[in-house]
Structures are given as structure tokens and as C-alpha cells.
Amino acid sequence: MILEVRDIRMSYANARKEVFNLLNGVDMAVEEGKVTALIGGNGAGKTTLFNIVSGFEKGFKGQVILEGNDISKLSAHKISLMGLGRLFQGRQLMDDLTLMENMKIASDDTTGENPFDCFFRRKKVAASEAAKEQQAINILVRVFGEDNKYLKMLNHKASELSYGEQRLIAMARLLIGNDRLLLLDEPTSGVNPRYIDTFRTIIRDMVEKEGQTVLLIEHNMSFVRSVADHCHYLADGKIIKSGPTAEVLDDPVIRKDYLGL
């Protein structure tokens, strides 16, 4: 198991000191080299769970184990350096940066990202920049084909791309870093359906070609069915059912509770 989440509990208190238990003992395991989906109703706590796993939420009880290491107390960027990639819900690329810059910041190579390198290690920085550029072009070609239009837009601001395109590229650039586990929060949400196939291809690429593991939150059930091997259903603060996707999605209780069928 590449990721194990043990007895995660998390609650909020509001102004009137009322306590609300969002997560009430979540136990979840994610198998390496597969695509796993995390499903559940709105407000069930899926994104919060992602935040806990990736280190952005610290006020919880329980343990998060990544590849055998307890990462519960580590900061978000350290967890990322250990090989965890994250796509946030609703966020795409950084619109103030150009497309190329957006790709470069996803690189594992941080040469030049301190105030001194640009003065004292010019050659090294130039070389690493060239390598990053090549890497970015490779990814774009791989995902969109040889003559894709993005190759001509590398110096355009990311804000010129549509939301769907930005989501796609944001996900594609996760192929650049050497992440072992990728957390994708609602990748297809709000995206034009014509891109869905490309999303599916990227995710399968991540698992089959790069050997990565994917854990995704999704509300689009047909997408989940077509891309996920396993499924976890989160409700009432716990993982109520886990298993192969078809088994979970065909479960009559879940179909009634969550899908309303």
C-alpha cells in the first residue's frame, strides 16, 4: 500500500461553540500502481481528507503513512518533496505566469530558485532552464500531439487559455515531477466534455507508463467507472465501503444514498 490513512478524526467548532465532526475515524488504504477514486456527497470531507494527506491541514488526529513513512506532522512542501503531487479543486494554472513559466515551476529541479544562483552560477542556471524547457515541450507533445497549438503559446499568459485547457495542462505537468502518488481533486469538474478523453488518457499514462499511483475525487460517475480500478465511499465521516469500482458503484445502498437511484 503506497498510502495508508489511519483513524483520521477532524472536527470544527463554530462561533457558538457547537462542534461538528467532519471526519470520524477514516481508515483508507491506497494500492500502488492503480487508480483509486474517493467518492461521497458534497461536504462529506473528501477535500479535507486530501488536505490532511497532503499536509495543508494540520488540526487532525490520526496518522497518514506514505510509503511506510509517517507524514502526519510534516509540512506540505516537505510531503510534496517526498513524492506526493496535488491538483487542487477549482485551481488551474497561475494566470500571471506564462505557459512556459507554469510548466517550469513544476519541475523537480530547483536550480536558480534562490537569490544567489542568478548571479554566481549563471551557466548552471542557463543549462537547467534549457532542460526544463525541453521537458515542458516533451510533455505537451506527449499529451497533445506533435503539432499542438500550445507549443506556439508558450510565452502567452496562462490566463489566455480556457479553464478546461488549464486544468488539463495543470494535470499534465504533474508528469514532470517525479511524484509517486498523485492526488487529483475533481479533475474534470467544470471542464468541457470534449476534454474528458484526454484526462482519461493522461491518468492511464500516469499509472501505466510512469508507474505512478492516482487517487482522485470525482463526482462524474461515468468517468470514475471508466478510469478507476478501486473506489472508496466516504459518508458520515467514515469510509463506508471500499472495493473494485464496479462493486462500489453498483452497491444498492450507495446508489440510493449518494446517487439517488
Partner 1 sequence: MLTQFLINGIITGILYSLLAIGFALVYNTTKLFHIVAAAIYVFAAYMFYLFAVTFGMPVLVAAIVAVVLTMGLSLLTDVSVYRPLKNRKASNNVAMIASIGMMTVIVNLIAMCFGNETKVIDNTIHRSFTLGSVIITSPQMWQLVAGGLVIAAFLVFIGMSSWGIRFRALSADSVLFETLGYNTANTRTFVFLMSGAFIALASCLTVYDIGLDPNMGMNVLINAMVAMIIGGVGRFGTCVLGGVTLGVLQALTVFQFSSNWQNAVTFVLLLILLFIRPQGIAGYKQRTV
Partner 2 sequence: MEYLLHIGIMLCIYIILVLSTNLTVGMANLLTMCQAAFYGVGAYIGTYFLMHFNLPFVLIALIVMFATGLTSLVISYASVKLKGDYFILGTLGFQMIVYTILYNWVNVTRGPYGIPGIPSIKLFGVWSVTGIYAYFFFALVLAVSVALIFNQLQRSPYGRMLKAIRTDELSAQALGRNTVQLKAWAFFISAAFAGVAGLVYASYVSYIDPTSFTLDESIFIITALFIGGIGSRVWGPIVGAAVVVILPELLRFVGLPDAVAANLRQVIYGLALVVLMFLRPQGLLGDAKLK
Instruction: Give the binding site for partner 1 (CB under 8 A).
Output: 12-15, 17
Between 90 and 243, whose beta carbon lies closer to partner 2? 90
From its phi and psi, is residue 7 left (phi > 0), alpha (psi between -120 and 50) or beta? left
Interaction partner, residue 86 (partner 2, partner 1, none; CB < 5-8 Å by kind): partner 2
Smallest separation, CB 95 to partner 2 (Å)? 7
**What track of x and - describes contact with partner 2 for positions 96 through 115 (by CB under 8 A)?**
xx---x--xxx-x-xxxxxx
Q: Which of 220, 181, 175 has the alpha carbon at shortest distance from 197?
A: 220
Q: Tell me the closest approach of the beta carbon of residue 114 to partner 2, in angstroms.
A: 6
Q: Does 62 bind partner 2 (CB under 8 A)?
A: no
Short-list 220, 217, 188, 219, CA closest to 202: 188
124-143 footprint of partner 2 as x/- string (CB under 8 A): -x--xx--------------
Cα–Cα distance, 128 to 104 (Å, whole number): 10
Binding to partner 2 by residue 56, rule CB under 8 A? yes
Residue pair 183/84 in contact (Cβ under 8 Å)? The answer is yes
What lies within 8 Å, CB to CB, of 259 at 6+ separation is: 221, 249
Phi, psi of 232 (to 5 degrees): -120, 135
Per-residue binding string, partner 2, 165-194, x by CB under 8 A, is: ------------x-----------------
Stretch that binds partner 2, among 30-38, 79-87, 194-202, 234-242 (CB under 8 A): 79-87
Using CB distances below 5 to 8 A depending on partner kind, what does residue 14 bind out of partner 2, partner 1, none? partner 1
Rounded to the nearest 10°, the torsion over CA 37, 225, 220, 54 is 10
Q: Give the three-class secondary structure for 21.
A: strand
Q: Contact between 17 and partner 2 (CB under 8 A)?
A: no
**Which partner from the list partner 2, partner 1, none does 201 bind, CB cut-off 5 to 8 Å by kind?**
none
In the sheet where 61-66 sits, what is the strand order? 19-30, 3-13, 61-66, 69-70
